[in-house]
Amino acid sequence: MNTNPLPDTPLIQRRARRLLATSLLGLLFCAGSAVACVEYGINRDLLLDKTYATYPDAGGVQFDQKVASRAYDNCPEKRDVPVFMTLEMPGLTYAGEVTFRRQSYPAYAAAPDAPLVMFYHHVAWSEDGPLRNGEEVPGLYEMTTGTGNASIQYWVVVFSRGGRMRTPPTMTGTITLRAPSEPSLDHQSIVQLDLKFPAATCPLQDKAETLQDVQTAELSVPGSTAKEKLVAIRMDCGVDPPRARMTLSDAGDAANTGSQLTPTADSDAEGVRVQLLRNGSEVQFGQTWDFDPGVGGVHDHQFTARYIRTNEALVPGTIKGEAVLNVDYW
């Protein structure tokens, strides 16, 4: 009586395993057949690289714009898809509001005298919205009923600062979109803005100065100096305020990082050199400094030239030296 039920138990367990396996295969088949959006297009990133010959003098005037777009096909036929977009531009700071199509938008800048840039997103059949640096903003993808198409545009609009504008550092970042209900729309677009403006340049006047003759007694020991004289290089900038990076170098030795000029080939004095100072201190050839007076007009760059005794024995004669002032405008 007790032997009949025992063989039936393994059969029930084996059938349960087969049914469970069949159920899992069915789930995998359904997941593999899900419809996902397929992206197409060639203008996915927001790239603006341009040199401007001129720009509006008044502030807040739009003078350029660029668009990037993301387009998708074969999407599920849903009409409204909530999305969330984040603009990340680490080099930009908030610079106030600008008016665009009778609405107020946040504007950003890479430098105090750089142009203002504003970003917004556009979706067909939906309201445009600003992209705020470092903030996630909501939007709505409007999918075309019956076709499963979806698209979104990212715009950058460039506004004048008001007055002279300068070439800012390259502005780089990203725009990231996430769509929790439709992950196949998730993407990231690169943003890179290179906005270049002509620099204000200023003619420089060469200057030659002759130091007074010096007596041996005035340079009695190494390191002693004599006969200081002011040497000024004039820069005539007209009405435009310049902005430049300046470098003083030894014309006879580009690798010289000291303050004493290398004697020219026609120099015959020994034990003495010409030394240069700036603002009362010995110069350091090859070192750069910024020049940003904020106004145009005439500017004099003043140096002091003097004799300095070296460790060699003094030999009477003529000593000459030449320096070059390099000006890199930006």
Are 190 and 51 in the same domain? yes
Number of structural domains found in the chain:
2
Q: What is the pLDDT of residue 37?
A: 87
Whether 234 is in a domain gets the answer yes
Specify the pTM: 0.66
Q: Do 109 and 141 belong together in one domain?
A: yes
pLDDT of residue 55: 85
Res 125 pLDDT > 90: no
Shared-domain flag, residues 175 and 314:
no
Contact 157, 94 (CB under 8 A): no
Q: What pLDDT was estimated at residue 145?
A: 62
Task: Identify whether 33 is part of a domain.
Answer: no
**For 239, left (φ over 0), alpha (ψ -120 to 50), or beta?**
alpha
pLDDT in tens, 63-102: 999 999 999 888 877 678 899 999 999 999 999 999 999 9
Please give the torsion angle defined by the CA atoms of residues 99, 119, 60 and 111, in that order, rounded to the nearest 10 degrees: 140
Summarised one tens digit per residue, pLDDT across range 173-223 is 999 999 999 999 999 999 999 999 988 899 999 999 999 999 999 999 999
Q: Do residues 107 and 222 share a domain?
A: no
Owning domain of residue 317: 216-329
244-303 pLDDT, tens digit per residue, is 999 999 999 999 999 999 999 999 999 999 999 999 999 999 999 999 998 999 999 999
Could you tell me if 255 and 325 lie in one domain?
yes
